Chain A
């Protein structure tokens, strides 16, 4: 009996020691979560129901007025439409092109390391610095892009300075900047496919095309769905490159995106109540996509 009791107290004290150690180790983490996440979220919800503004010290409860304002603001819908357009085009290239290049890089070829480094290099440099280089590329007068068009016998474009091409120019930059990230993810996915699967398919007489569409692509589907969903979510968060390349949202606000809209409401115009409300709407959109990703992500592919 005595030994059993001894064991119990030992187990009890072990548990107590664990909780005590855990409490100390988790405290800094909890502080950051409360101060940098919980508190701001509570505050932003609260702000969205007030006429909080940078210019006036008085603020009062206004109910749903901010939400009504934002949802009936044509600029908000323009930002939403632009963001959808941005997302659609970027996603096609970011996924399609990245998969294509990853498949090529998966072959046993020379200079693989060089190719990998080259395609991934734009990902690691600060976005501000690289978008400033592209700002010059897009200069209609002295930029190299128009010069190249001229060599090809094509008419010059206004790039960032025309309503028609401004957003496309930003998209082109962001494809250059981001495609390497997806290539790396696809490549990792391709390389995790066991060689025996491919061998088995080839022995059964499958062509390389069939191996790709019938074996590789289905096994890649978790990576693909991850890339697509994260791509959508990230497109809704884009800010840096549009802000650097088109600080005033481009000609006729053709590069106004969701985050630029929220940022403009809150910090340029100082209407923080409206900014808070619109940021919560954005959050809702991203939340829906995140849930979708979780749902789709559950369809795990098994290698066994």
Chain B
């Protein structure tokens, strides 16, 4: 029955297939090229389909750069950042949404104002502070400096506010302290919001570029987005190797995205519209 309600729009479909193809083309190109031989790449005219599918380019990536180290660095840093950021934000958001305390409004405005300030403004003094504290080339330096909690806190506040006060009052009557209220009522009742905020935070940290670029000098401390650049050289980039590395960097993200598409979209609409 439902099928009949779909109306076919041939021109719309054609147009969307074309734009979709354009959007996907770079990924298809990357996947195909990761298997190309140098001859496929440097021949004129270049070949679009590899002459034979070989995995040598992938092996070459590990020979050229400490790729696994970059990967582990990126995962470790972004996971720790996400967990810390969401924990700090959720606790703070609970206090703002459900508790009364002095200076609440002033603090709220202060937090909001921090959103207006672009990263490049704070990054110059942050670099000096990190240098003084001896945090260059350390995980602490990589992680701590980017715990920008303001945005995720503001997002969570608006969600926690929608949790009925009666739930909290009932728990209070039963003798729960506010910490138990937070753990047992607020958190279980806002899984969607926490999920959306976490996804948003993780994506931001996973893609982070400027701060890791500044705070690390040692190759071993580089994260994936910076590390990939080692494959680009002035004398001639081996594109097929670069593509093999890109496949390993991009495909896991794409798979997670396709599996969790609904959550991704939700995180964008929630985070996008709340500011």
* A interface with B by C-beta (< 8 Å): 15, 17-19, 21-23, 25-26, 28-30, 32-33, 36-37, 39-41, 43-44, 47, 101, 104-105, 107-111, 113-130, 132-137, 139, 141-144, 147, 150, 176, 180-181, 184-185, 188, 223, 226, 230, 236-237, 239-240, 243-244, 259, 262-263, 266-267, 272, 275-276, 279-280, 282-283, 286-287, 290
Contacts and interface: CB of A to CB of B under 8 A. Distances in A.
Contacts, number: 280
Interface stretch (B50-58, B60-68, B189-197, B260-268): B260-268
B88 A32 contact: yes
A126 B225 contact: yes
Contacts of A181: 268, 272
Contacts of A41: 117, 121-122, 125
Contact of A121 (B242, B249, B257, B275): B257
A61 to B, nearest CB: 17
A93 to B, nearest CB: 12
A279 B23 contact: no
B231 to A, nearest CB: 8
B225 A107 contact: no
Contact of A237 (B9, B19, B118, B231): B118
Which label, helix, strand, loop or mixed, suits the secondary structure of the A interface? helix
B19 A236 contact: no
Interface residues of B, number: 98
B20 A120 contact: no
Given A15-B100, A147-B46, A137 B26 contact: yes
Interface of B: 5-9, 12-13, 15-16, 19-20, 22-24, 26-27, 29-30, 33, 41-42, 44-46, 48, 87-89, 91-92, 94-96, 99-102, 104, 107, 110-111, 114, 116-122, 124-129, 144-145, 147-150, 153, 177-179, 182, 203, 206-207, 209-210, 214, 224-226, 228-229, 231-232, 237, 239, 242-243, 246, 249-250, 253-254, 257-258, 261, 264-265, 268-269, 272-273, 275
A53 to B, nearest CB: 12
Contacts of B177: 17, 21
Contacts of B249: 125-126, 129
A22 B253 contact: no
A146 to B, nearest CB: 9
Given A36-B147, A43-B129, A124 B254 contact: yes
A122 B122 CA distance: 28
Contact of B209 (A113, A115, A127, A137): A127
Closest 8 CB pairs of A and B: A29-B92, A43-B125, A21-B178, A22-B101, A118-B20, A128-B225, A40-B122, A22-B95
Nearest to B258: A117
Which label, helix, strand, loop or mixed, suits the secondary structure of the B interface? helix
8 contacts: A33-B150, A37-B114, A121-B254, A121-B257, A133-B27, A136-B33, A142-B46, A240-B209
A266 B30 CA distance: 35
A109 B12 contact: yes
Contacts of A184: 265, 268-269, 272
Contacts of B6: 108-110
Contacts of A141: 44
Contacts of B178: 17-18, 21-22, 25
Nearest to A176: B23
A188 B269 contact: yes
Nearest to B87: A28
